[in-house]
Amino acid sequence: MLRITLPRALVFCAILLNFLATEPARSAPPLPVTTRGTITVYAQGAGEPDDVAVAPDGTVYYSDLHLNRVIAVNPRGQWTPVSPRIRAPEGLVALADGRVLVAEQETNRLYMLDPLTQVLTPFFSVGNVTANPGIDGLSPYGTTGDFLIPDAPTGRLLRLNAAGTTLTQIADRFRRPTAAVIDADGTLYVCDEYGYQIDKITPDGMITVLARITLPDDLALDGRGGLWVNSLRGTIYRIDLATHATEAVVTLLGEPHGLALLPDGSLIIADATGNRLYRLTLP
């Protein structure tokens, strides 16, 4: 009897191909559940989508902690890297001139990115003398051109002028501030992740607790009297700023991180562990 001995590598490949042929196809993860509007997949992520920003023209940008780059998403849901490698990219602010301000968490530095040329220019170094993780989120300071910086490692809320030359402290003693937004009347809302709460700062500097939420990470004002908040435990909340009522709107997410509003008022949600961007279309 003739025996034919196959190399081990060929045997392994044959076994692997047989396994793949018989293994049932994995279904896509189920959609999260919402009590308002409809939720759909806006785009598949590049690995681990984190913070989100929407440009005036509607382009969605997100920082991805798997590729360590900033990603642009077109209206068809197709994504493209638009930055060189960044050491843990986090907070983003999309500017009117097309540039994007990016926080590099590992160094606690801010860079200005030109998505067209993918050139990254140093903008400001906040510094970090602690052993705590660096900046998580960024946001515009209203229409002034300045920036809000929740300095997560030191527990401070900072304001940086538009030129990137002057840094001013607004408040401190947060546990780990990861996001902040400012309303039209000058009221600030701060997400204190390790404090498990959302704080409200009135224009006269008074700080009060607006809501208590487990591991809140990001904020978005909807312009209709509501503040959207994510919990890293998989839920998106809406806080009514008039009544302070807190409603769990979206549930069964993996680990939601970034939140941002599209020009039509839809909410973009970045789910890091689900590797997806979702769109919550509201009535």
**Do residues 139 and 148 make contact, with C-beta atoms less than 8 angstroms apart?**
yes
Residue 13 has pLDDT above 70, yes or no: no
Residue with tokens 């001995």: 5
Which has more pLDDT, 5 or 144? 144
Is residue 219 predicted with pLDDT exceeding 50?
A: yes
pLDDT band at residue 177, thresholds of 50, 70 and 90?
A: very high
Question: Among 141, 150, 210, 199, which Cα is nearest to 179's?
Answer: 150
| Segment (H or E) for 171 | strand 167-171
Q: What is the mean pLDDT of residues 218-226?
A: 97
pLDDT for position 28: 65
Q: Residue 19 phi/psi, 5° resolution?
A: -65, -45
pLDDT digits (tens, 9 = 90+) for 109-156: 999 999 999 999 999 999 999 999 999 999 999 999 999 999 999 999
* Look-up of token digits 């929407």: 54
What pLDDT is recorded for position 12? 38
Q: To the nearest whole number, what is the mean pLDDT of the chain?
A: 92
Closest to 239 (Cα-Cα) out of 259, 219, 260, 266: 219
In terms of phi and psi (left: phi > 0; alpha: psi -120 to 50; beta: otherwise), the region of 165 is alpha
Binning pLDDT at 50, 70 and 90, where does residue 243 land?
Answer: very high
Residue scoring higher pLDDT (241 or 76): 241
pLDDT in tens, 37-81: 999 999 999 999 999 999 999 999 999 999 999 999 998 999 999
Percent of the chain at pLDDT > 70 equals 90
The pTM (predicted TM-score) of the whole model is 0.89
Q: Is the pLDDT of residue 207 over 70?
A: yes
Cα-Cα-Cα-Cα dihedral sign, residues 106, 142, 182, 53: negative
Nearest-CA neighbor of 200 among 209, 56, 279? 209
Provide DSSP, 68-134: TEEEEE-TTS-EEE-S---SSEEEEEE-TTS-EEEEETTTTEEEEEETTTTEEEEEEE----SSS--
Question: What's the confidence (pLDDT) of residue 166?
Answer: 97
Tokens 């562990």 belong to 273
| C-alpha span between 158 and 153 (Å, rounded) | 12
Q: In this structure, what token pair is assigned to residue 127? A: 């510094």
Structure confidence at residue 17 (pLDDT): 41
Sheet of 79-81, strand order = 49-54, 60-64, 69-73, 79-81
Identify the structural domains of the chain with CATH numbers, from first to last: 30-281 (2.120.10.30)
Answer positive or negative: Cα dihedral of 103, 225, 184, 151: negative
Judge whether residue 91 has pLDDT over 50: yes
| pLDDT attached to residue 1 | 36
